Amino acid sequence: MTLFLAMAMFALVTSLSPGPVNILATITGANHGYVRTIPHIFGATIGFVSILIILGLGLIQAFDGSHTATQVLNYLGSAFLLYLAYKVATSSKTEQDETKKNDAPTMFQGLLCQWLNPKAWIVSLSGVTVFSSNGVIPLEDLGAFSVIFFIVCYCCISTWALLGLTIGKYLEHPIHYKLFNRIMGGLLALTVVYVFFISK
C-alpha cells in the first residue's frame, strides 16, 4: 500500500506540473471545449503510459547506454512541439463552423505529443528508475504503476483542459482570442526550451 501511495504521489506531481501536453490541453479546452479535448487527453494519456511500459520492460537500458538516441529524441520532439507553439501563437479567431471544429487535436496527435515530448521520457525514465531494483521493475509493480499513472494522468490533463474551458468564456472577442493564443504559444515554446536544456 505504501508503494502504491508513493507511485500515486509521483504520478500526481509529475502529471499536474506545467508541460507541453498540459498547455496544449488548456489551449484546446479554451478554443474547442472539453468534449472536443477528450481525444487529445486520451491519446496523451495512452502515449505516456505506453512510454512507461516499454521503458519498464527493458528499453531503459538502451537509453541509458545511448546518448545519441536521447539527443535525437530531444531534437525531434522539441522541433515538433515548437512547430505546434508557432501554430497556436499565429492562430486567429474564426467563425464557429465545421472547419474550426475539425481543428481540435485527434487522439493520434495527443499520443504523438507525448512520444515526441522530452518531458514525458524524462519523467518515465525517472519513474522506472525510482521504483526499480537494480534497474529492473517487477512486472506486477510495472502494471500497478501503469494503471495508477493512467488514472492520475487523465485526471490531471483534464484539469488543465477544464481550466482552458473556464478561460474560453472570455475569448469571444477576436483580440482576446489572439492575445490568449499568443501568450499560450509563447509559454509552450518556453516550456519546450526549458525541458530541452534540462534533459541535456
Average pLDDT, the chain: 83
Domain that holds residue 92: 2-198
* Backbone phi, psi, residue 141, to 5°: -70, -40
Question: Is there a contact between 25 and 160 (Cβ–Cβ < 8 Å)?
Answer: yes
Strand partners, 149: none
Q: Give mean pLDDT, residues 70-75.
A: 72
As a whole-number percent, the residues of the chain with pLDDT over 70 amount to 84
Residue 2 has pLDDT above 90, yes or no: no
Residue 62 has pLDDT above 70, yes or no: no
Measure the CA–CA gap between 161 and 23, rounded to whole angstroms.
8
Measure the CA–CA gap between 52 and 127, rounded to whole angstroms.
8
Residue 35 has pLDDT above 90, yes or no: yes
Identify the CA nearest to 123 among candidates 47, 43, 40.
47
What pLDDT score does 8 carry? 93
What pLDDT score does 43 carry? 96
Q: Looking at the 3D structure of the chain, how many domains does it have?
A: 1
Higher-scoring residue by pLDDT: 173, 20: 20
In 3-state terms, what secondary structure has residue 153?
Answer: helix
pLDDT winner (highest mean) among 25-39, 70-84, 182-196 = 25-39
What pLDDT score does 74 carry? 72
The model carries a pTM of: 0.81
Measure the CA–CA gap between 192 and 74, rounded to whole angstroms.
10
What pLDDT score does 98 carry? 43
Identify the CA nearest to 21 among candidates 4, 51, 52, 42.
42
Q: Give mean pLDDT, residues 107-124.
A: 88
